[in-house]
Structure 1
């Protein structure tokens, strides 16, 4: 369970991105962002770019009341999503995941800004933040390590619909502050 005073759906503002609680009205913008098959190529749900598959995913994100829409400040367009969630094997902790960004935001500063906003918010209540990544999702593993996170263990966890193998990473406040000095 997240800390009772921790807001899993804050409004967060960065230099180029804004994060806001995911709402019903975000579906079309979110689907437009997700409709690129290349976004999902390294992901276990490779067909999530299809409307009928994405509808179920969006509904599941909405139901958690922990998902955030990622909005490009300049255009106002939704460019992705991310969520806070409780790791099933660490019930008094917080994790960040269920993240995707449009390809135009890959390789630049968008993922770092997104995670910076979420991490700094999480570190107001927690000393460590966890990330669970599919073993096949090398791009996300690399991006997570660039933040300063370290691989802690592998486990089979039920994070979404069915148990799946995950590479489990952790990032402490001290590691984040140290990595941020060199960013």
Structure 2
């Protein structure tokens, strides 16, 4: 599967996104080592170094993972990724997102998603977000950014299964909403 073209840098008001590099491991792990970040996640042990290292290596291999940097301080505050890009279907998913707890409840997630959506809509018409059924925090975040719940599916896991919620954002809706906000 192809990767969505990723810019060398996507700059917002308070955040900068750039492609993840091998040298980012320590700074990103310092964020990911907080067990509370993973409390509502299906991989509750991702705060452990070996588990996170496996995730990090997969993220590097994807060539579509981004590191999130706070512009004022230059501090790494999280990561996100594009995946399941379909040039033919003109769609992509955004996920694997996590932010440091200091960024929860503020504008960081909204700005991160807005920057990623704006970038993606140069190539696609639909962006999908897959959210675990037990991840209430991410479900609320999707509603805040205008994600529309499309459907739910049961996903088989190594141990058991998990209900996933599929949210989508359409380019036309995103552009309409942001033209009103910016006028």
TM-score grouping bracket, smaller chain normalisation: 0.7 to 0.9
RMSD of equivalent CA atoms: 2.5
Provide the residue aligned with 1:140 in structure 2: 138
TM-score (norm 1): 0.88
Report the Cα offset of residue 99 of structure 1.
Answer: 0.1
CA distance in 1, matches of 2:140, 2:122: 25
Q: Within 5 A, what are the aligned runs for 1:10-159? A: 10-86=8-84, 93-157=91-155
Report the Cα offset of residue 76 of structure 1.
Answer: 1.1
Report the Cα offset of residue 121 of structure 1.
Answer: 0.5
TM-score (norm 2): 0.88
Q: Which runs of 5+ in 2 are unaligned?
A: none
Q: Which runs of 5+ in 1 are unaligned?
A: none
**Per-residue CA distance 1:147-169 (angstroms, 9 max, x = gap):** 111111112458x9897531111
Partner SS state of residue 77, structure 2: strand
Tell me the number of residue pairs that the alignment of Structure 1 and Structure 2 aligns. 179
Partner SS state of residue 20, structure 1: strand
Moved more, 166-175 or 96-105: 166-175
**Contact (CA 8 Å) 2:91, 2:125: kept in 1 or not?**
no
**Per-residue CA distance 1:88-114 (angstroms, 9 max, x = gap):** 9x9752010000000000111100110
